[in-house]
């Protein structure tokens, strides 16, 4: 079942998500619903707080492979970084330049509570960093320069006004 995506201005997006302690059918259902929501929205990643759940759960889908990581921790990052445009399902229609590590290691658990570790590079590394940021209450607007943030906020206001017309 598709879930409602929270948009910029909703306080849940700026709130740090809590560790998942219970691994049960409701967690599996949440991850399935998040994957459906992400796909229906043409996204490549989604964090639980984007759908109003303050749990450290992320899903991603890159190059036809799905990823579900519970309680993710960035345990390693390359020294190399790349600045590239990023969008966000919670700030539709807005893209800003964000600098990210080009490769990362993420540790966490799968939906059944089994430990996992994922080495990621390129787009998957970017997506995982973006979603972990969400779980920490950090948005792409927090990761860009002041001028880009101001321009994005102008675009966002115009987007909201256009929706009201």
Characterize 108-127 residue by residue with b for buried, 16 or more Cβ atoms within 10 angstroms of its Cβ, and e for exposed. bbebeeeeeebebeeebbbb
Please report the pLDDT score of residue 9 as a whole number.
Answer: 92
Model's pTM, two decimal places? 0.94
The span from the CA of 17 to the CA of 91, in Å, is: 19
Q: What pLDDT band is residue 160 in, cutting at 50, 70 and 90? A: confident
Q: Where are the domains of the chain?
A: 11-164
The yes-or-no verdict on residue 165 having pLDDT over 80 is no
Q: Which fold has domain 11-164?
A: Peptide Deformylase (3.90.45)
pLDDT at 99: 96
Q: How many CB atoms lie within 10 A of CB 97?
A: 13
- pLDDT, tens digit (0-9, with 9 covering 90-100), for 25-56: 999 999 999 999 999 999 999 999 999 999 99
Report pLDDT for 51. 98
Calculate what percentage of the chain has a pLDDT beyond 70: 100
Instruction: Give the residue among 20, 24, 9, 3 at the shortest CA–CA distance from 92.
Output: 9
Reduce the DSSP state of residue 28 to 3 states and report it.
helix
Residues taking part in catalysis: 131
pLDDT in tens, 86-135: 999 999 989 999 999 999 999 999 999 999 999 999 999 999 999 999 99
Lowest mean pLDDT among 23-27, 77-81, 92-96, 158-162: 158-162
Tell me the pLDDT of the chain averaged across its residues.
Answer: 95
Alpha carbon of 96 to those of 48, 145, 151, 153: distances in Å? Answer: 22, 9, 9, 11
Are 119 and 105 in contact by the 8 Å Cβ rule? The answer is: yes
């Amino acid at each position: 079942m598709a879930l409602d995506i929270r948009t910029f201005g909703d306080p849940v997006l700026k709130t740090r998500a809590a560790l998942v302690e219970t691994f049960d059918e409701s967690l599996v259902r949440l991850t399935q619903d998040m994957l459906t929501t992400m796909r229906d929205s043409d996204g490549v990643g989604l964090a639980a707080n984007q759908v109003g759940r303050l749990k450290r759960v992320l899903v991603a889908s890159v190059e036809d492979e799905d990823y579900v990581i519970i309680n993710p921790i960035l345990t390693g990052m390359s020294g190399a970084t790349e600045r590239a445009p990023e969008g966000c399902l919670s700030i539709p229609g807005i893209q800003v330049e964000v600098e990210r590590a080009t490769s990362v290691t993420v540790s966490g658990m799968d939906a059944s509570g089994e430990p996992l570790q994922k080495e990621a590079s390129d787009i998957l590394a970017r997506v995982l960093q973006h979603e972990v940021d969400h779980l920490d209450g950090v948005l792409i607007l927090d990761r860009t320069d002041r001028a880009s943030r101001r321009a994005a906020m102008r675009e966002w206001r115009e987007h909201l006004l256009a929706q009201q017309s």
